């Protein structure tokens, strides 16, 4: 039966090679031997102990090599061990399930061996060594192949070794559910190490959390033996103080962990166990140290319980003081504050709706957060400005602002100004954001609009924002709030004038888009009033701060003018007057400093009043065009004008027989004939506004303003450049050249109450009227011609009355403007008594010719010591040529007009004598 074997090696060449290779083991033959060993492992499973022992040696060598290896140029021998390890790795990973019970314990023993031997090497170096990585991979791979009981045994084996907690952590990633609860059975230090390593693996954190919470709930359970669990809570706290991951596990979703029932039970447990030895470590100081590292939700929970629980209240105060103290160190990173910054929305919400204690505590937290994170400072300001609805919250805002600015800054610090400047910038940005966000919020669709539950006094967000700002400004201006002494809010608003002006402009705009279901759909006037009040309350004069820039001024002026006109249209008288008064105040404030503002304001006001909003003042638009019927061809229209040369404005001509293209004028158009009255409320309000723009110290502002008004009137009534100058030409010239134009200008002026009223104001502010000379000339020229025409027809119609009224107005204006010196000024009184022909005479000889020869120019007016411009009557007596006509007429009708004669001529002569 015996099978004769010639070879002395009974088993195999491999085995012999391996045995004798190992006994003469050196670095060079390691890969070779490793391959042999792997073959043996497959074919001679019984040799596994020996092979694995050899592999363990290889691993030891490789670890030594790789941690001592400083660079990558390594000698061949070193590579041998590393190479072998890299051969072993995949092979052992892939041996399969039946091998796992042998491989896994071997790995674990090897890890423990290595860890113990290399205990002096830093953990990270060791962990990052390639061989260790490979070994850990093998371990993990094989652990997963084991059944749960064997696996638990292996993990227990590892946990028993103090040196390789990192390995447990690493390997435990495959089995966090097994490792985590076991780790918690260890001492706090060991558990910390294991869990810390476990935490590098994100999915494991869940298991850690489950394990920790299980332990916690177990400790609280009522039925079990209390003395056994006495140490659990102190242990957990102690562990948490050492391990971030445990702390995180405990504090994550803390509201769900510490429900009210749990709290109740916890209090009971604390009360019964507090006096034991383990609990001695649970001091407020240690709890506060924990809380510093916890997240802000813990703080909120603490706040919730603080009202009812004295200990919580003390803890809270302790915590806050500790936080404030810790913030003294600039580079200290406090997780609680970081978390508060991350969850700042919750904190702010709570600040709005919490109870008193919560509010004050959170304000302190927010100060700390704001101090560390300027961006949160800005957003907090913005948030509170938008959503604060009562004084106490605003007071908290003031506290936060001043607290943040003055925190840790000793009053004698040299860089205090620089720092406050920086913070002032933040406040400014905060206001800016609040404004922007409020306007954006106004355009968002809100639930209350959709379900129709809009409260009666629903205000827009912008309105709320303004109310808050106004309140703060009032506090600031009262000078009784020491925190606001530096005017942070006022300066911030002043820095944001452009945007606030823009907001006012947008809200007053009639073309504003008003989406349904949004705040913008509400009536905008309350918001506009609030915005105007904000503008009204800040300083724009540049006395307390640098004066606003040009574009800011222009923006605010435009907005204010718009606001003014919106107010004019209000039905409610008080509201209207109040709004107008605000607008006027604003205009005055703006114009008193800046000529630019004045010019802009006057132009805006007049333009709007005359061109766009004229209906409000009773003005009628001049009907420059008759609407051509649709069938009219341009060719036919042209034929209607006749062969004569077209003059300026001739298509509107009302001269002679009628309107060209329309035929003879209907005499019964009563409305057409009425001259709109000057004395209306709106007109007066507008004049008030105009006057507001002209205020300055002394008379100069008025004169300058009125001059601008005059120029503007000329420009607006007659945009032409030609013939708008001061001189009055020969009367004949007008007849031949410019009569159509004069007629248009007169019509335009006459129909526009605003223009006439403004002209009167200009007349009062001498010598401003001179610059409106073109308008006066137009009226005078048309009067001359029309009266002459009526004279021809002997009419005493309504039209005649109108002409007389116009004459009266012209004369009174010119007299007021001192363009007609004594005795010409008395034409006003004389005029009603004169016949048409007499008027024509007087107008031509006394008015036209005098003005033609004495061009009304500001140069005629001298400025006296009080700054008043006026024409000295004694030096500007008109020569006899201009007064003789008057004298003759009075003499001729001495019976009726005699009482004027001495006034007009006798005094004059007396003076002459």
Phi, psi of 863 (to 5 degrees): -105, 125
Per DSSP, the three-state class of 470 is helix
Question: Least distance from C-beta 49 to another protein, angstroms?
Answer: 4
- Which CB atom, from 2 or from 447, has the smaller least distance to another protein? 2
Read off the tokens for 449.
């609009």
- For residues 766 to 795, the per-residue mask of contacts with another protein, x marking binding by CB under 8 A and - elsewhere, is ------------------------------
Q: ∠ CA 11-14-15 to the nearest 5 degrees? A: 55
Question: Least distance from C-beta 45 to another protein, angstroms?
Answer: 4
**Residues in Cβ contact with 368 at an 8 Å cutoff, skipping those fewer than 6 apart:** 323, 324, 327, 337, 340
Q: Are the C-beta atoms of residues 821 and 877 closer than 8 Å to each other?
A: yes
Torsion sign over Cα 450, 452, 453, 459: positive
Cβ neighbour number for residue 912 with a 10 Å cutoff? 7
Question: Least distance from C-beta 103 to another protein, angstroms?
Answer: 11
Residues in 89-148 at the binding interface with another protein, rule: CB under 8 A: 98-99
- Which CB atom, from 45 or from 187, has the smaller least distance to another protein? 45
**Residues in Cβ contact with 5 at an 8 Å cutoff, skipping those fewer than 6 apart:** none
CA distance 130 to 127: 8
- Which CB atom, from 7 or from 571, has the smaller least distance to another protein? 7
- Which CB atom, from 33 or from 591, has the smaller least distance to another protein? 33
Phi, psi of 862 (to 5 degrees): -105, 155
- For residues 13 to 52, the per-residue mask of contacts with another protein, x marking binding by CB under 8 A and - elsewhere, is --xx-xx--xx------------------xxxxxxxxx-x
Residues in 50-79 at the binding interface with another protein, rule: CB under 8 A: 50, 52-54
- Which CB atom, from 26 or from 272, has the smaller least distance to another protein? 26
Question: Least distance from C-beta 26 to another protein, angstroms?
Answer: 15
**Residues in Cβ contact with 709 at an 8 Å cutoff, skipping those fewer than 6 apart:** 602, 606, 690, 758, 761, 762, 768
Per DSSP, the three-state class of 163 is coil
How would you class 438 by CB atoms within 10 Å of its CB: exposed for 0-12, middle for 13-18, buried for 19 or more?
A: buried
Read off the tokens for 386.
């938008």
- Which CB atom, from 22 or from 868, has the smaller least distance to another protein? 22
Question: Least distance from C-beta 54 to another protein, angstroms?
Answer: 6
Question: Least distance from C-beta 92 to another protein, angstroms?
Answer: 13
Residues in 498-527 at the binding interface with another protein, rule: CB under 8 A: none
Question: Least distance from C-beta 29 to another protein, angstroms?
Answer: 15
Question: Least distance from C-beta 47 to another protein, angstroms?
Answer: 6
Which residue, among 829, 753, 738, has the nearest Cα to 785 in the 3D structure?
738
- Which CB atom, from 15 or from 772, has the smaller least distance to another protein? 15
Question: Least distance from C-beta 139 to another protein, angstroms?
Answer: 19
- Which CB atom, from 101 or from 618, has the smaller least distance to another protein? 101
Question: Least distance from C-beta 8 to another protein, angstroms?
Answer: 6
Question: Least distance from C-beta 97 to another protein, angstroms?
Answer: 9
- Looking from the CA of 438 toward its CB, the CA atoms found within 13 Å total 31
Residues facing 658 on adjacent strands: 664
In this chain, which stretch among 4-12, 680-688, 788-796, 860-868 interacts with another protein, using CB under 8 A? 4-12
- Which CB atom, from 5 or from 913, has the smaller least distance to another protein? 5
Q: What is the DSSP letter of 544?
A: S
Question: Least distance from C-beta 158 to another protein, angstroms?
Answer: 22
Question: Least distance from C-beta 148 to another protein, angstroms?
Answer: 19
CA distance 338 to 821: 82
- Which CB atom, from 43 or from 283, has the smaller least distance to another protein? 43
Cβ neighbour number for residue 806 with a 10 Å cutoff? 20
In this chain, which stretch among 3-11, 209-217, 296-304, 810-818 interacts with another protein, using CB under 8 A? 3-11
- Which CB atom, from 11 or from 906, has the smaller least distance to another protein? 11
Question: Least distance from C-beta 15 to another protein, angstroms?
Answer: 6
Read off the tokens for 99.
């091998």
- Which CB atom, from 60 or from 620, has the smaller least distance to another protein? 60
- Which CB atom, from 49 or from 255, has the smaller least distance to another protein? 49
Residue 706 within binding range of another protein, rule CB under 8 A: no
- Which CB atom, from 45 or from 832, has the smaller least distance to another protein? 45
Residues facing 863 on adjacent strands: 869
- Which CB atom, from 3 or from 124, has the smaller least distance to another protein? 3
- Which CB atom, from 52 or from 592, has the smaller least distance to another protein? 52
Q: How many residues bind another protein (CB under 8 A)?
A: 30
- Which CB atom, from 50 or from 346, has the smaller least distance to another protein? 50
Question: Least distance from C-beta 25 to another protein, angstroms?
Answer: 10
Residues in 302-331 at the binding interface with another protein, rule: CB under 8 A: none
What are 553-556's contacts with CB under 8 Å, separation 24+? 553/590, 553/594, 553/596, 553/597, 553/600, 554/596, 554/597, 554/600, 555/497, 555/498, 555/501, 555/502, 555/505, 556/497, 556/498, 556/500, 556/501, 556/504, 556/586, 556/590
Instruction: List Cα–Cα distances, 352 to 380, 395, 457, in angstroms.
Output: 12, 12, 20
CA distance 869 to 862: 5
In this chain, which stretch among 9-17, 242-250, 386-394, 549-557 interacts with another protein, using CB under 8 A? 9-17
* Options 9, 68, 147, 224; binder of another protein; rule CB under 8 A: 9
Torsion sign over Cα 258, 261, 263, 269: negative
CA distance 539 to 476: 12
- Which CB atom, from 97 or from 639, has the smaller least distance to another protein? 97
Torsion sign over Cα 442, 445, 449, 454: negative
Question: Least distance from C-beta 89 to another protein, angstroms?
Answer: 19
Question: Least distance from C-beta 39 to another protein, angstroms?
Answer: 11
Phi, psi of 698 (to 5 degrees): 100, -170
Q: Are the C-beta atoms of residues 178 and 140 closer than 8 Å to each other?
A: no
CA gyration radius for the chain?
49
Q: What is the DSSP string of 317-344?
A: HHHHHHHHHHTTSTT---HHHHHHHHTH
Question: Least distance from C-beta 119 to another protein, angstroms?
Answer: 24
Q: Are the C-beta atoms of residues 397 and 385 closer than 8 Å to each other?
A: yes
Length of the chain: 913
* Options 11, 268, 418, 722; binder of another protein; rule CB under 8 A: 11
Residues in 610-629 at the binding interface with another protein, rule: CB under 8 A: none
Return residues touching another protein (CB under 8 A).
1-3, 5, 7-12, 15-16, 18-19, 22-23, 42-50, 52-54, 98-99
């Amino acid at each position: 039966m015996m099978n004769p074997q010639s070879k002395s090696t009974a088993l195999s060449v491999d085995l012999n090679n391996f045995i004798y290779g190992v006994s003469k083991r050196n670095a060079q033959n390691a890969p070779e031997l490793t391959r042999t060993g792997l073959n043996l492992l497959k074919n001679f499973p019984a040799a596994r102990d020996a092979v694995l022992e050899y592999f363990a040696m290889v691993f030891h060598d490789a670890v030594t090599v790789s941690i001592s290896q400083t660079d990558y140029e390594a000698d061949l021998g070193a590579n041998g061990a590393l190479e072998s390890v890299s051969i072993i790795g995949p092979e052992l990973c892939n041996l399969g399930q039946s091998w796992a019970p042998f491989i896994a314990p071997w790995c674990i023993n090897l890890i423990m061996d290595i860890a113990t031997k290399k205990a002096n090497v830093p953990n990270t170096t060791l962990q990052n060594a390639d061989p260790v990585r490979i070994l850990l991979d093998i371990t993990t791979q094989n652990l997963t192949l084991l059944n749960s009981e064997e696996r638990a045994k292996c993990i227990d084996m590892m946990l028993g070794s103090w040196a390789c907690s990192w390995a447990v952590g690493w390997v435990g990633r495959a089995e966090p559910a097994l490792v985590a609860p076991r780790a918690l059975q260890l001492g706090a230090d060991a558990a910390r190490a294991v869990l810390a390593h476990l935490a590098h693996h994100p999915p494991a954190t869940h298991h850690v959390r489950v394990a920790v919470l299980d332990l916690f709930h177990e400790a609280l359970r009522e039925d079990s033996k209390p003395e056994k669990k006495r140490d659990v809570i102190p242990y957990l706290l102690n562990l948490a103080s050492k391990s971030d991951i445990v702390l995180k596990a405990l504090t994550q979703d803390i509201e769900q962990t510490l429900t009210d029932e749990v709290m109740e039970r916890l209090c009971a447990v604390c009360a019964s166990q507090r006096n034991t030895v383990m609990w001695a470590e649970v001091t407020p100081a240690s709890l506060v140290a924990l809380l510093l590292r916890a997240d802000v939700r813990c703080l909120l929970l603490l706040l919730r319980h603080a009202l009812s629980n004295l200990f919580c209240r003390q803890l809270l105060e302790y915590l806050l003081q500790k936080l404030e103290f810790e913030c003294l160190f600039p580079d200290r990173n406090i997780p609680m504050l970081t978390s508060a910054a991350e969850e700042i929305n919750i904190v702010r919400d709570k600040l709005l709706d919490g109870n008193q204690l919560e509010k004050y505590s959170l304000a302190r937290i927010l100060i700390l957060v704001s101090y560390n994170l300027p961006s949160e400072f800005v957003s907090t300001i913005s948030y509170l400005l938008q959503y604060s609805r009562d004084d106490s919250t605003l007071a908290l805002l003031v506290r936060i602002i001043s607290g943040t600015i003055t925190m840790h800054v000793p009053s004698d610090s040299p860089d205090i100004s620089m720092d406050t400047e920086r913070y002032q910038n933040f406040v400014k940005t905060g206001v800016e954001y609040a404004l922007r966000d409020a306007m954006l919020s106004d355009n968002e669709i809100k639930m209350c609009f959709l379900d129709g539950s809009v409260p009666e006094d629903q205000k827009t967000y912008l309105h709320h924002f303004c109310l808050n700002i106004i309140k703060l400004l009032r506090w600031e201006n009262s000078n009784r709030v020491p925190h606001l002494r530096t005017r942070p809010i006022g300066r911030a608003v002043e820095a944001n004038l452009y945007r606030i002006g823009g907001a006012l402009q947008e809200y007053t705009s009639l073309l504003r888009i008003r989406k349904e279901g949004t705040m913008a759909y509400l009536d905008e006037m309350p918001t506009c009033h609030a915005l105007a009040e904000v503008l009204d309350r800040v300083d724009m004069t540049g006395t307390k701060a640098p004066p606003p820039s040009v574009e800011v001024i222009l923006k605010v002026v435009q907005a204010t003018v718009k606001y003014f006109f919106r107010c004019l249209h209000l039905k409610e008288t008080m509201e209207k007057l109040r709004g107008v008064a605000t607008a006027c105040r604003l205009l005055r404030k703006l114009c008193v400093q800046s000529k630019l503002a004045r010019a802009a304001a006057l132009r805006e006001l007049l333009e709007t009043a005359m061109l766009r909003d004229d209906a409000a003042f009773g003005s009628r638009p001049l009907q420059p065009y008759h609407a051509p019927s649709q069938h009219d061809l341009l060719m036919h229209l042209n034929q209607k004008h006749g062969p004569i040369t077209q003059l300026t404005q001739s298509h509107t001509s009302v001269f002679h027989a009628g309107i060209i293209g329309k035929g003879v004028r209907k005499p019964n158009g009563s409305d057409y004939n009425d001259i709109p009255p000057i004395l209306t409320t709106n007109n007066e309000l507008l004049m008030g506004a105009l006057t507001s723009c002209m205020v300055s110290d002394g008379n100069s502002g008025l004169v300058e303003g009125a001059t601008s008004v005059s120029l503007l009137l000329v420009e607006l009534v007659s945009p032409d450049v030609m013939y708008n100058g001061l001189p009055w030409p020969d009367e004949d010239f007008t007849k031949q050249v410019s009569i159509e134009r004069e007629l248009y200008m007169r019509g335009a002026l006459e129909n526009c109450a605003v223009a006439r009223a403004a002209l009167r104001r200009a007349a009062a502010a001498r010598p401003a009227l001179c610059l409106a000379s073109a308008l006066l000339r137009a009226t005078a020229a048309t009067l001359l011609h029309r009266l002459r025409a009526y004279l021809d027809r002997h009419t005493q119609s309504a039209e005649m009355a109108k002409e007389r009224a116009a004459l009266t107005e012209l004369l009174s204006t010119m007299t007021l403007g001192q363009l007609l010196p004594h005795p010409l000024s008395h034409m006003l009184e004389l005029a009603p008594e004169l016949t048409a022909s007499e008027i024509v005479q007087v107008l031509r000889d006394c008015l036209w010719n005098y003005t033609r020869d004495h061009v009304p120019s500001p140069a005629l007016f001298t400025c006296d010591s009080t700054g008043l411009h006026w024409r000295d009557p004694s030096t500007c007596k008109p020569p006899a040529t201009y007064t003789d006509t008057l004298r003759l007429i009075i003499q001729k009708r001495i019976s009726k007009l005699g009482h004027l004669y001495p006034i007009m001529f006798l005094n004059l002569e007396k003076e002459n004598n």
